[in-house]
Amino acid sequence: MSQTIGIDLGTTYSCVSYLEGNEPKVIPNLEGMQTTPSVVSFTSSGEKLIGNLALRQAITNPQNTIFAIKRNIKKKFTSREVQEARKKIPYELAEAPNGDVMVQVDSNTISPQEISAMILGYLKKCAETFFGDEVIQAVITVPAHFNDHQRQATKDAAQIAGLEVLRVINEPTAASLAYGLETKKDATIAVYDMGGGTFDITLMEINEGIFHVLGTNGNSYLGGEDFDNRIVSWLIEEFEKENGVDLSDDKLALQRIKEAAEKSKRELSYTLETEINLPFIGSDKSGSKHLKKIITRTKLEELTKDLIQETFLYIDQSLTDANLDADKIDEVILVGGQTRMPLIKELITDFFKKKPIERINPDEIVAMGASIQTAIIKGTLKDLILLLDVTPLSLGIETEKERFVKIIEKNTTTPTKQTMAFTTVEHDQRRVRVHILQGESENIRENISLAVFDLVGIATAPAGVPQIDVTFEIDADGIARVSAKDLTTGREQSIEVRPTSGLTPEEIHSIIRRTREKESE
């Protein structure tokens, strides 16, 4: 009998879990560690390394060692975030024909979905080794503020890895499930989730086994990587001041500095200062140069405090959306490795007037919650009755003058069904085009296009007379069905909105076939 697992596919580290009885347990990777670096490396001999083995290649093979790929899944190559990232990473990014980001490895381009699939495939292998049995089904977590295209891309990555996705759930929601099962008490909680690449705040009410998400907000491009990059920039500036050598274009030096920056950041969670010592990091006519610098916790806080303060803008908005005051929050749960930073804990305590809970490992709680969701889906866990999640972004349609009209507002509990009446803008108009979008801006160009369909055969009438009802329906899996109906003729047209990941079904099947052929060699 095949096993079912919960997976936290993280930006910097990933984790896999299963449910033993009513208790979630973390599955160790093939090296016996609880978490796995989300890193893939391609060697000169054509070998593909994943996890810790890949991480060890970061210094010696920086151009072919891919990390933090989750930040670029379904991102446009020309976006500001991607162009900024290109300055700080040692590997090359390229533009796909549809404008998405691709990774350049030698003469080949690889999609972020394929890189993610390699990591998921490794986690699947770890679980199968642990169980001594096949693993086919999984619940996979994503940042709460991922849009529908990013969620679909994650599902496609799982399909390439040979996994059937039972459900994609939000990372803070998964953490709430793990907390609720562990405490078994009713509460209104806030989940502050800052991992390597993303930030989410989710407010949730737990009441007699019902988990009701009240609101969520966040930024899918704000996380621990940004803290690392602040240290990297500081070190490069200090080195240039002292030695007159600019290391920003030296990919090998850049990777060494990045690795040292991340290490120092971690150490400063437990000590007040640490030394960064990188010999032979650069050179000029006078000879080799060494980077040796003391960084204090105070300096780190000075470099990154604005990043932390930015998260409180999302917290304020989430509380407003949920019609809650901070003093109504009973517990604050910290999720993600970056929340180990003392300043984050201090500012959270000041804001909510209570210390956050730290007894649950922030690196493992999301995967544990995902494994609990597998049991909820299968009906094998009776302690938890129902999970009511919300839409992270608004859904609606384009109207005249390229305006976006929201039909389902963000933070609406799912499943849900909403209808709004529209009309024609031209006399004797026989056709209406329904353009479905996701986002928060009134300008359609600042939102995400999901689908387009036409309602034809509308009864001829003066502009403004016909009534056309547009209905959005979202099920528990987050799949949206949109219909448009002319009330005069009864004509109706509908579409199931399944966002593209940027890969066609044929491309996905081709990747799966190539992967299997390589594995059988």
- Of all residues in the chain, the percent with pLDDT exceeding 70 is 97
Neighbours of 335 (CB within 10 A): 29
Query: Residue 477: which pLDDT band, with cuts at 50, 70 and 90?
Result: low
Catalytic positions, written as ranges: 8, 70, 171, 193
pLDDT score of 502 more than 80:
no
- Domain 395-497 sits in CATH at 2.60.34.10
CA–CA separation, 293 and 92 (whole Å): 29
Please report, in angstroms and rounded to a whole number, the separation of the first and last CA atoms in the chain: 27
User: Is residue 196 a contact partner of residue 258, using CB atoms and an 8 Å limit?
Assistant: no
Q: What is the pLDDT of residues 110-132, one digit of tens each?
A: 999 999 999 999 999 999 999 99
| Sheet with strand 416-422: strands edge to edge | 416-422, 468-474, 480-486, 492-497
Query: Residue 283: which pLDDT band, with cuts at 50, 70 and 90?
Result: confident
Q: What is the pLDDT of residues 90-116, one digit of tens each?
A: 999 999 998 999 999 988 899 999 999
Per-domain boundaries in the chain: 3-222+313-389, 224-302, 395-497
Residue 406 phi, psi dihedral angles, 5° rounding: -80, 130
- Domain 3-222+313-389 sits in CATH at 3.30.420.40
Average pLDDT, the chain: 90
Least reliable range by pLDDT among 2-6, 231-235, 312-316: 2-6
> What is the mean predicted confidence (pLDDT) over 426-452?
90
CA–CA separation, 194 and 188 (whole Å): 20
> What is the mean predicted confidence (pLDDT) over 495-500?
75
User: Is residue 220 a contact partner of residue 142, using CB atoms and an 8 Å limit?
Assistant: no
Q: How far is CA 215 from CA 187, 205, 324, 479, 506, in A?
A: 15, 10, 10, 19, 37
Q: What is the 3-state secondary structure (H, E, C) of 417-445?
A: EEEEEECCCCCCCCEEEEEEEECCCCEHH
Both tokens of 418, joined, read 């909403």
CA–CA separation, 294 and 445 (whole Å): 46
> What is the mean predicted confidence (pLDDT) over 69-78?
93
pLDDT of residue 171: 93
Both tokens of 182, joined, read 């562990």
User: 470-495: string of b/e by CB count within 10 Å (b at 16+)?
Assistant: bbbbbeeebebebbbbbeeeeeebeb
Task: Quote the pTM value.
Answer: 0.89
pLDDT of residue 499: 67
Q: Which of 517, 512, 474, 413 lies closest to 164 in space, CA to CA? A: 512
> What is the mean predicted confidence (pLDDT) over 387-415?
89
Whether cis (ω within 30° of 0) applies to the bond prior to 356 is no
Least reliable range by pLDDT among 184-188, 321-325, 344-348: 184-188
Least reliable range by pLDDT among 64-73, 148-157, 477-486: 477-486
Q: What is the pLDDT of residues 39-60, one digit of tens each?
A: 999 998 889 999 999 999 998 8
> What is the mean predicted confidence (pLDDT) over 434-454?
90
Q: What is the pLDDT of residues 11-34, one digit of tens each?
A: 999 999 999 888 899 999 999 999
pLDDT score of 237 more than 90:
yes
pLDDT of residue 520: 61
CA–CA separation, 150 and 423 (whole Å): 33
User: 215-240: string of b/e by CB count within 10 Å (b at 16+)?
Assistant: bbbbbbbbbbbbbbbbbbbbbbeebe
Q: What is the pLDDT of residues 341-392, one digit of tens each?
A: 999 999 999 999 999 998 889 999 999 999 999 988 888 776 655 777 888 8
pLDDT score of 239 more than 80:
yes
Q: How far is CA 108 from CA 104, 392, 505, 508, 516, in A?
A: 6, 35, 20, 17, 19
Both tokens of 22, joined, read 């009513």
pLDDT score of 521 more than 90:
no
**Pairwise pLDDT comparison (124 vs 499), residue with the higher score:** 124
CA–CA separation, 30 and 383 (whole Å): 32
> What is the mean predicted confidence (pLDDT) over 235-256?
91
For the four alpha carbons of 77, 78, 80 and 85, in that order, the dihedral sign comes to positive
Q: What is the pLDDT of residues 135-173, one digit of tens each?
A: 999 999 999 888 888 998 999 999 999 999 999 999 999
Q: Which of 509, 374, 381 lies closest to 2 in space, CA to CA? A: 374
Both tokens of 486, joined, read 């002319």
pLDDT score of 404 more than 90:
yes
CATH superfamily of 224-302: ATPase, substrate binding domain, subdomain 4 (3.90.640.10)
